[in-house]
Structure 1
Amino acid sequence: MAQFVVQLRFDLDRTDQRMEVRPAHREYLAALKADGKLVAAGPFTDQTGALLVYDVADEAELRDILAKDPYTPADVYEIATLAEWQPLFPFS
C-alpha cells in the first residue's frame, strides 16, 4: 500500500455547481474512509481547495478513485498536487 496526498484547487467560478454536488462527494469520501482508502480529507478554511490523503495500492488505483468522485464529472476542481507521500509521523 502507498499513501498519496492530493491537493484540489476549486474552480471558484463554479462554486454553485460544487455546492450542488458536494453532498454526493462527501458521501463518496465517507465510503472510501469506511473502506480504508481515505485517511483524511477536508477543505481549506478559505474554501479555495481541499487536501486529501489516500491509502491505496498505487497511483492507478488513486486515479480510478478520483475519476469516480462526483466532483470530477462536475468539473469543479483541478489537481494542484498529486504525490506519493512518506509520512514520518503517521495518523493514529
Structure 2
Amino acid sequence: MPWFALIARDRPDGLEHRKQHRPAHLEHMARLDAAGRLRYGGPLVSEQGDMKGSLIVLEADDLEAARRAYAEDPYIVHGLFESFDIVETKPIFPRGN
C-alpha cells in the first residue's frame, strides 16, 4: 500500500491552536495507528525547539484516501496550518518496508 506524507506549516498563532486541539489530534492519530496505517507522526520544530508544523506519514489506498484521512485531523479541521501539502513517498529505509 502506498505511503503519503503530510507536510504542514503552522499559522503564526499556531501554538495556541495546537494546545487547544492536541487531545483530539492525538486521538485521531491513535485511531490511524490502531488501524495499522500510521507510519510516522511528529511536530516540525524550530532551531529554538518551538513547534512550527507537522510531518505525518500514513498508508492509504491512494492519494484521495490519504486526503480524506488527513481531512479528519482536528488540526486541519480547526485551521491550525497556514499551508500543507500531501505527497506520496516511497519508503526505502529502514530496509524491510
For the 8 Å contact 2:25–2:75, the answer to whether it is kept is: yes
Distance in 2 separating the partners of 1:10 and 1:90: 29
Distance in 2 separating the partners of 1:7 and 1:29: 15
In percent, how many aligned pairs have the same letter?
33
Q: 3-state SS of the aligned residue for 1:89?
A: coil
Seen in structure 2, the aligned counterparts of structure 1 residues 60 and 10 have a Cα distance that, compared at 3 Å, is: same
Matched residues, number: 91
Provide the residue aligned with 2:45 in structure 1: 45
5+ residue gaps, structure 2, are none
- The one-letter code of the counterpart of 2:80 is V
- The one-letter code of the counterpart of 1:4 is F
Seen in structure 2, the aligned counterparts of structure 1 residues 60 and 91 have a Cα distance that, compared at 3 Å, is: farther
Point out 4+ residue stretches in structure 1 off by more than 6 angstroms. none
1:53-88 deviations in Å (ceiling 9; x for gaps) = 111101111111111111112101121x32111121
For the 8 Å contact 1:37–1:56, the answer to whether it is kept is: yes
| Greater helix share, structure number | 1
State which of 65, 87, 90 in structure 2 corresponds to 1:86. 90
**TM-score if structure 1 supplies the norm length?**
0.87
For the 8 Å contact 1:18–1:74, the answer to whether it is kept is: no
Distance in 1 separating the partners of 2:16 and 2:9: 15
Provide the residue aligned with 2:18 in structure 1: 18
CA RMSD of aligned residues (A): 1.6
Distance in 1 separating the partners of 2:37 and 2:94: 15
- The one-letter code of the counterpart of 1:53 is V
Q: 3-state SS of the aligned residue for 1:12?
A: coil
